[in-house]
Every structure is written in structure tokens, then in C-alpha cells.
Amino acid sequence: MVPVPQGPKDAYLRIVDALVTLVGHLAWPVTVLALVVVLRREIQEICKSLSRRIADPASSLIIGKGGLEIKGRVDAALGRIESLEIDQNQSKELIFGVLGKKELKAGTVPGRDETVAPELLKLADEYLKISASEWSERVRLKDECARRMSNLVLTRNVSKDLLAGQDHEGLLMALVTAIHAAPEQGDFDRISRIAQKVKRLHVKYRIAMALGRLFEQNLAGEADVARCKEILDDYNIGADPALRRRIIQTKAIINLAVGNRASSAVS
């Protein structure tokens, strides 16, 4: 077939059609560019806010391979799992401890012991002397001793305020382990009072755990958050990796507990 000659009018139409197509392709990028220019300040503020959230160790956002990921809830869950494991071991020993005390009859509660029992003080001294070449073994031995001290505190109904007034770190460990096992009103104030006395990382670790438990059990609230984070930030100085990780988990537990409480109040 012989091609039909095209005149100047056809060439003009082709040029117009090409221009329309080009404008169509450019319209979306130009629109986006215009929006970026107009909203540049707002976009900058959003980016800064997002950066602050991601940089916060207790934030629920991190940047991973899949983009933005939830982190705070994971940290909180890991912290709770460890607390539950300790509860399990504590419960077993506590049950045997109660059954082994002949003076505890069914349905009776012992009077509050306002003196530090000699066996509790002995365990507290032993706790401070625990030594092992392996870190994991050393922690295991300290955890075991702490459980035994806590059981004495709970089965003898030892005054928590009496323990809070001590400077002996072994007795302070007995207190915070008992608080974690059986939290009650006033425990946050007790921990706040002893927080600066503590030097050992293991005791600080268990204080961090106990603080998380108090917020979970609604025994500490929004008014206590600032003091709690002050304690945790102070403990973060000179912390080993285990304590640092626990501090992050406890902060995540606190943020989640306070956030859930605020959501419930609004709804």
C-alpha cells in the first residue's frame, strides 16, 4: 500500500498530541514538587518528630528491613516474660516455705515481724559474698539467694518499711524481691527511698523489674513516671548490657501501662 502524504496540519496535530502527553507525564511530579515546596516546614517538623521517636530507646518505632517496626511492645513483652519466669520459681519455693512453717495454721496470718530475723540477715550476708567466675552462674546463685530471702520476708511478714530503712544491700535485695513477688500500696515510695543506696548492678536490675511490676499492677501511676525514669536513667550510667536491656524493657512496660490507662480514661 502506498502511504498517504501528510500535510502541515497533520504534523501540527502530532506535535500537539505529543505535548499533551508530555504535560500529562509531568503533571504528577510537578504537583508533588509544588506540595513539597508549600508544605516544606510541616514536612520538616514531621521528620524531626519521627527522628526523635526512633532515637528514644523506649520508643515503639524502629527502622528495620521491613521499614518502620513496633519495638516498645516487644520490649514490654520480653520484660513481662522474664518477670513471669521469676514468679514461677518464687511461687514454688514460697509454697514449700509456707508448708514447712508449723506455726502457720490454715487461715491464719502471722503478726508483722518488726525485727530483722537472724536467718534473714545471714542470707543477706551470704548474698553479698556470692562469687563465681562465670557471669551466668553468679547471677543464678544471686537469684536463688534472693528468692530465699524474699520467702522469709513474706512468710514471716517482715515489715517492708523496716527493710527500706536498712543500708545493707542484701536486705534491700530481699525487699525488692518481695515487692516484685507481692506488690502492694506504698511499695513505689519504698523503692524511691532506697534507690540511691544501691550500688550493685544485680540489685538495680531487680529494682527495675519491681518498678515495671508496680506499673503493671496499677500500684504506680502517671504522677510517678518522672521519678521512676529518673531512677532508671541514673541506673543506666555504668550499667552492663543486661541492666541496660532491662531498663529499656521496664520503660516500655511503663509507657504501655500509662498509655493504656489514658486510653481507658478517654473511652
Window from 3-7, 164-168, 180-184, 204-208 with minimum mean pLDDT: 3-7
The pLDDT of residue 52 is: 64
Residue with the larger pLDDT of the pair 250 and 80: 250
Q: What mean pLDDT is reported for the chain? A: 78
Q: What is the pLDDT of residues 51-94, one digit of tens each?
A: 666 556 555 555 554 444 466 677 777 777 777 777 666 665 55
CB atoms within 10 A of CB 47: 10
Q: Give me the pLDDT at residue 264, please.
A: 66
Q: Report whether pLDDT(135) > 90.
A: yes
Determine if the pTM surpasses 0.85.
no
C-alpha 89 chain-centroid distance: 21
Whether residue 214 is predicted with pLDDT greater than 90 in this model: the reply is yes
Q: Is the pLDDT of residue 106 over 60?
A: no
* Least confident among 10-24, 98-112, 197-211: 98-112
- State yes or no: pLDDT of 177 exceeds 90: yes
